């Protein structure tokens, strides 16, 4: 099958899960072309598996100090460029378009009536799952930013809906298990300023905080350990950590739940997806949430014990099998099987 695969480049989570599905689809013999949009090519990391790929401008959501900035998001929108990219996109011979919340490929599929499939956490919101209160604009954007005809939604629980488990990187299955270091905390709050994160964790000197995000180079200052981007280093610190403090995105909390790490989430203000994730995390009893950098909540959370690993299945195997079957109306059969394989 010839597949055009669109990846939203603004978040590392999109790239991480799409990397796994693209690799599996290629292994299964499908021919793939990949479009990445929303971020400059020089800012993209570890995307070799997507080749052949093209990077386009697309749409980018702007944030500032842990909050969505809708005004700046609208100012940076280049609608003429977006539509030009859609209409100039060569889709000849394409059998299926898969979009991981990527708008160019989603729009091309609708305009040219090509079968399309949404892949990712955002597509779980088309089902009956916990959703935070938000404006009509926020809910409309979530559901219509990059819609598709068929939906491979992902979540930490199935909520009795045809939803797949999270996509866990293959390296977390194949790595030798690392011993948990009590008191080691992984901190990934990329929407916050580094100095704000440091001030937040500074008082708790009984723990070692490994801080990722807007960090340019490695540095150690007592119990604060600053780390620049390194996927290998990040995964090693994640596997050794006692707990994870992060934004309420989807991929990292899923990886932490898979490994059995306690979680404290800080949702991005004004972003209904993250606020819904925080709601779901607490409803499931899988972790805690805070809506600002709150010392009291952090103090209580640090005293909590660890949790048992959820050990999610190899989700991309089931999604790839569903895609390859061509019977895309049979989604519930594949989602049910994926949860039965979860320990």
Domain edges within the chain: 2-167+313-340, 170-302
For the domain 2-167+313-340, what is the CATH code? Answer: 3.40.50.2000
Query: Is residue 281 scored above 60 in pLDDT?
Result: yes
170-302 adopts what CATH topology?
Answer: Rossmann fold (3.40.50)
- Confidence bin at 63 (pLDDT 50/70/90): low
Question: Which of 17-31, 87-101, 132-146, 158-172 has the lowest average pLDDT?
Answer: 132-146
Q: What's the mean per-residue pLDDT of the chain?
A: 92
Q: Mean pLDDT, to the nearest integer, of 214-240? A: 93
Query: Is residue 171 scored above 80 in pLDDT?
Result: yes
Query: Is residue 342 scored above 80 in pLDDT?
Result: no
Q: How far from 140 is each of 4, 65, 312, CA to CA, in Å? A: 25, 24, 30
Question: Which of 150-154, 168-172, 274-278 has the lowest average pLDDT?
Answer: 168-172
Q: Partners of 185 in the beta sheet? A: 209, 243
Distance CA 171, CA 104 (A): 30
For residue range 253-268, what is the model confidence (pLDDT) as tens digits? Answer: 999 999 999 999 999 9
The neighbour count for residue 195, using CB atoms within 10 Å, is 9
Q: Which residues of 34-43 are buried (b: 16+ CB within 10 A; e: fewer)?
A: bbbbbbeeee
Query: Is residue 75 scored above 60 in pLDDT?
Result: no
Q: How far from 293 is each of 242, 246, 297, CA to CA, in Å? A: 19, 11, 8
Distance CA 71, CA 77 (A): 10
For position 74, what pLDDT does the model report?
60
Do 2-167+313-340 and 170-302 share a fold?
yes
């Amino acid at each position: 099958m010839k597949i055009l695969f669109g990846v939203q480049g603004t978040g590392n989570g999109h790239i991480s899960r799409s990397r796994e599905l693209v690799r599996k689809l290629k292994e299964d013999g499908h021919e793939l072309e990949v479009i990445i949009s929303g971020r400059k090519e020089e800012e993209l990391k570890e995307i070799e598996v997507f080749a052949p790929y093209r990077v386009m401008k697309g749409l980018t959501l702007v944030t500032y100090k842990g909050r969505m900035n809708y005004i700046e998001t609208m100012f940076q929108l280049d609608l003429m460029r977006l539509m030009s990219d859609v209409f100039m996109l060569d889709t000849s011979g394409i059998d299926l378009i898969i979009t991981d919340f990527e708008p160019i490929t989603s729009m091309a599929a609708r305009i040219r009536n090509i079968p399309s499939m949404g892949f990712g956490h955002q597509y779980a919101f088309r089902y009956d799952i916990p959703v935070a209160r938000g404006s009509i604009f926020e809910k409309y954007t979530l559901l219509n930013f990059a819609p598709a005809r068929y939906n491979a939604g992902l979540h930490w629980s199935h909520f009795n809906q045809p939803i797949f488990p999270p996509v866990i990187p293959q390296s977390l299955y194949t790595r030798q298990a690392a011993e948990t270091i009590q008191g080691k905390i992984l901190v990934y709050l990329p929407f916050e300023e580094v100095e704000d994160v440091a001030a937040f964790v500074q008082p708790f000197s009984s723990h070692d905080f490994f801080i990722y995000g807007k960090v340019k180079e490695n540095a150690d200052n007592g119990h604060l350990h600053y780390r620049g981007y390194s996927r290998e280093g990040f995964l090693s610190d994640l596997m050794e950590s006692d707990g994870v403090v992060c934004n309420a995105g989807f991929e990292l909390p899923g990886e932490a739940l898979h490994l059995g790490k306690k979680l404290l989430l800080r949702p991005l203000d004004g972003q209904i997806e993250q606020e819904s994730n925080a709601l779901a995390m607490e409803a499931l009893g899988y972790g805690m949430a805070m809506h600002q950098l709150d010392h009291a909540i952090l103090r209580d959370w640090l005293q909590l014990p660890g949790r048992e690993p959820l050990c999610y299945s190899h989700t991309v195997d089931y999604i790839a099998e569903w895609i390859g079957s061509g019977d895309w109306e049979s989604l519930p059969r594949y989602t049910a099987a994926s949860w039965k394989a979860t320990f």
